[in-house]
Structure 1
Amino acid sequence: MSLKTNSEYGARPRIWFAFYQLLWHLLLPLAIIRLAWCARHAFSYLHHIPERLGFGYKKPIYQGSIWIHAVSVGETRAAQPLIEAYLARGESILLTHMTLNGRRTGKQLFAQAIANGQIRQVYLPYDLCWPVENFLNTFKPQFGLFMETEAWPTAVFRGKEIRLPLFLVNARLSERSARRVNQFGKAGRALFQAFAGVLAQTEFDAQRYRSLGVENIQIVGNIKFDVPLDPDLVAQGKMWRQDLQVNKRLMVCASSTRDGEEAIILKAWNDLLMSNAFENPPLLCVVPRHPERFAEVAEQISSIGLKFRRRSEWTSTPSDCINLEVVLGDSMGEMPMYYSASDLVLMGGSLLPFGGQNLIEACAAGCPVLLGEHTYNFQQAALDALQAGAAQRIHGDVILGEPIVLMEVLKELLSNASELAKMSVAAKTYSVEHQGATERILIALDQQIKSWA
């Protein structure tokens, strides 16, 4: 693959791209070593390594599929309504991931379509010229859809050079990310300008893409509102909640927590229990964002002296919740169960400056949400939920040794049954009213592909 700038299509900037390729070649051995290191916990990390280098694909190879790139778990779940819509049309899907958990999630969600050959799962190769070229030559997709924030320079620039239309779908761009892109000057902006189109979640996102010089932008809403909750998991969660209600206990789910947040939450929870504010003490369910931190969080819970049990230690709902103070949600793909069992969700990633995590799924389960100050990754969704009364913001310093701020907010809200009920109704309404992005995306893509041809 040439490193020349393609003047006709305005492709990759030559000097910047040459440096990018050199850096990738230097880091490639470290990427393989990292997979081997992760394999200590799950040998599956070493599966399909040739795919990460752009070869070794199992036959038969189906060309001409719609290529959807969903890097990890969140993007794979978000893509579900879109994938199902294309499957209903009789299309075949090439579904690519970058992470093991993303691939596992896709395999779980689309098991039947994978079995009958409608969906082919592979890893997107590392973003080097030769793996990307071989990947594209092997599969020859109709067009490509990159979910949310994914923009790999080699794949995107090469797509434009060979006139393969690539779209950024359900696109979001935080103010911080936009600043980072602009730090790369023309090279950074050229990357997003190389997409055939950007289908943005909100006007906020669209404005930031426009600031990068992207012209073909449409606002379609957030497809995550269209993602259905697994009915079996919802049923399990409701059974768990019934068990809690028999004992007149409330449950708070600290969802998708990040490093440093668990310490704040656990200290606040311990203080809440020590305050004796409740005749029947509430239960906390902590669900860390990253599975590799499950053991670390278990140690934190144990060290603070709270009685807890791991989700992995039971097969249905815990029979001894009455004796527990904390449940560690050390499982993947079960958030609908945790949300359906909960009376309140404390959204991880928002207490410390990680940008927040997706609150839409919690609202779809009718669960009120508590947000910290840091929600820039889901700016519009957070603002809309706050305005709708589905969420509340925690104001005050929860970082510098002051988890009492969080404790007081939890105590006030858990003591107010009528407010929780009101927020629950608002959460469900908010979720339903924002649905419909999938249909808008399909219409927009149909028009774009037609005009591209």
Structure 2
Amino acid sequence: MMKPFTLLYFLIATLLYLIALPFLLLLSFKTKYRESLPARFFLKENPRFKKKDIWFHVCSLGEARALKPVLEKLQEREISISTITHTGHAEALKYEAEVRYLPFESLLPFWVGKHKMLVVLEAEFWYLLFAVARAKGAKVVLLNARMTERSFPKYRKLDWFYRRLFARTDKIFCQSEADKKRFELLGARNIEVVGNIKLAQKITATKRYEKPSSEIIVAASTHEGEERAIVEAYLNYSEEHRSKLIVVPRHPERFERVYGLLLAMKKDDQTLSRWSEKEDFEADIILVDAMGELNNVYAISDVAVLGGAFRADVGGHNPLEPARFGCKIITGKHAFMQQELFKYVHNVQEVEPTEILKALHKARSMDASFMDEKIDLESIINYLNQ
């Protein structure tokens, strides 16, 4: 039997679900959502978990990868993993675990089974997920929990709601002291600062490529609008310095559009290639239109222009990977989702899109970026093994 607030929340979620059904049906025909939407909103080929031990919930690719050092120390346990995105789902399938898409909230009371523990990564604060899992006997743990300075005012406006949500958590492992204070202000308790588990990841290349003799600049994990600014800077930079530009867009559905942009922007005497047609670095500008190659590209790059932070609505991307491979990092001023990780990375230039050219010149006289490692993985594993 649901408590009054939980019942009201469930009814509202169900109403929203019914209103959104026509739009969901249309979106499910798009390649990007063809697998995830039917699974999440219609439970197509998405049965409840059979295993009843530890259930991890992650959103997307980055969080799924971050699980690896934790799961390596839980090999005796039965692991289940739920995800939101297609890329996160594909990454989770690499583990010895049951993997599912997390259904929409109004479906959770009928889908969630009994588990010993639900471990939710970062900021996946789904009220019915917490309430239903706990009602069915699971401890609810937040791992790598974060609440950015930018997002905190929005949480404070819904203080009454998040107090109810965090009352349904048994333990919070957060990234920083600042995160801990923000959670406490929203009524959360039993909080421990352990650092960011992404610092415990083993960052490696899956293939070894021979580094070209010229300087290599990689435009990494770029979003709409960012490629243009980076390419404009590179075109001017390459007039003075022998260099190549490798472009690795964040989302595969943008590969064709980005290729068209590069084709339109390149100079007549410059060559352009795409990785899906020719796996080499002979051209002046190379579009890597393939997944899983970014670390391999970092390994041969001198400078990484890290995307996701030149726009105000994305929040930046993980700087640990280019730092691990000794790249000089240039990024934007909107990396608010990665604030904690950037604390551990040094020699990073944070600039406006119009300042990328200046940053490329400055990088020539700078040392490579590097990172510190601070993570208390042992405390996490001890708790999960209780």
TM-score relative to the length of structure 2: 0.90
Deviations for 1:388-430, whole angstroms, at most 9, x for unmatched residues?
x332232xx43xxxx3x2112102323x3xx3xx325xx1xx2
- The residue that corresponds to 1:132 in the other structure is 108
* Alpha-carbon shift at residue 3 of structure 1 (Å): 5.7
Residue 367 in structure 1 maps to residue 366 in structure 2: no
Residue 256 in structure 1 maps to residue 226 in structure 2: no
Change (3 A) 1:188 1:122: same
* Alpha-carbon shift at residue 272 of structure 1 (Å): 1.6
1:155 aligned counterpart, secondary structure: helix
Find the partner of 1:99 among 85, 96, 101.
85
Q: Which amino acid aligns with 1:103?
A: H
- The residue that corresponds to 2:133 in the other structure is 159
Whole-angstrom distance in 1 between the partners of 2:37 and 2:8:
32
* Alpha-carbon shift at residue 144 of structure 1 (Å): 0.9
- The residue that corresponds to 2:358 in the other structure is 408
Whole-angstrom distance in 2 between the partners of 1:25 and 1:351:
37
- The residue that corresponds to 2:293 in the other structure is 334
Question: Any conservation in 1 of the 2:115–2:133 contact (CA below 8 Å)?
Answer: no
Question: Any conservation in 2 of the 1:105–1:333 contact (CA below 8 Å)?
Answer: no
Whole-angstrom distance in 2 between the partners of 1:439 and 1:176:
30
Change (3 A) 1:169 1:305: same
- The residue that corresponds to 1:423 in the other structure is 368
Q: Which amino acid aligns with 2:240?
A: A
Whole-angstrom distance in 1 between the partners of 2:373 and 2:235:
37
- The residue that corresponds to 1:299 in the other structure is 260
* Alpha-carbon shift at residue 189 of structure 1 (Å): 3.6
Deviations for 1:299-321, whole angstroms, at most 9, x for unmatched residues?
11111125321222234x33xx2
* Alpha-carbon shift at residue 158 of structure 1 (Å): 1.7
Question: Any conservation in 1 of the 2:305–2:329 contact (CA below 8 Å)?
Answer: yes
2:59 aligned counterpart, secondary structure: coil
Residue 240 in structure 1 maps to residue 217 in structure 2: no
Change (3 A) 1:349 1:189: farther
Question: Any conservation in 2 of the 1:54–1:134 contact (CA below 8 Å)?
Answer: no
Whole-angstrom distance in 2 between the partners of 1:47 and 1:351:
28
1:341 aligned counterpart, secondary structure: coil
1:392 aligned counterpart, secondary structure: strand
1:175 aligned counterpart, secondary structure: coil
Whole-angstrom distance in 2 between the partners of 1:77 and 1:97:
12
Residue 204 in structure 1 maps to residue 185 in structure 2: no
Question: Any conservation in 2 of the 1:345–1:369 contact (CA below 8 Å)?
Answer: yes
Find the partner of 1:180 among 154, 159, 168.
154
Whole-angstrom distance in 1 between the partners of 2:189 and 2:323:
33
- The residue that corresponds to 1:9 in the other structure is none
Q: Which amino acid aligns with 1:121?
A: V
Q: What 5-or-longer segments of structure 1 have no aligned partner?
A: 6-11, 114-118
- The residue that corresponds to 2:4 in the other structure is 4
Whole-angstrom distance in 2 between the partners of 1:192 and 1:178:
15
* Alpha-carbon shift at residue 24 of structure 1 (Å): 2.8
Q: CA RMSD in A?
A: 2.4
Question: Any conservation in 2 of the 1:55–1:135 contact (CA below 8 Å)?
Answer: no
1:86 aligned counterpart, secondary structure: coil
- The residue that corresponds to 1:8 in the other structure is none
2:19 aligned counterpart, secondary structure: helix
* Alpha-carbon shift at residue 216 of structure 1 (Å): 1.9
* Alpha-carbon shift at residue 348 of structure 1 (Å): 0.8
Residue 325 in structure 1 maps to residue 284 in structure 2: yes
Question: Any conservation in 1 of the 2:36–2:84 contact (CA below 8 Å)?
Answer: no
* Alpha-carbon shift at residue 443 of structure 1 (Å): 2.6
* Alpha-carbon shift at residue 125 of structure 1 (Å): 1.1
- The residue that corresponds to 2:65 in the other structure is 77
Find the partner of 1:391 among 341, 348, 355.
348
Question: Any conservation in 2 of the 1:96–1:123 contact (CA below 8 Å)?
Answer: yes
Q: Which amino acid aligns with 1:312?
A: S
Question: Which one has a larger percent strand, Structure 1 or Structure 2?
Answer: 2
* Alpha-carbon shift at residue 268 of structure 1 (Å): 1.2
- Aligned residue pairs total 382
- The residue that corresponds to 1:358 in the other structure is 318
Change (3 A) 1:438 1:33: farther
1:314 aligned counterpart, secondary structure: coil
Question: Any conservation in 1 of the 2:247–2:288 contact (CA below 8 Å)?
Answer: yes
Question: Any conservation in 1 of the 2:38–2:44 contact (CA below 8 Å)?
Answer: no
TM-score relative to the length of structure 1: 0.78
Change (3 A) 1:360 1:182: same
Question: Any conservation in 2 of the 1:340–1:365 contact (CA below 8 Å)?
Answer: yes
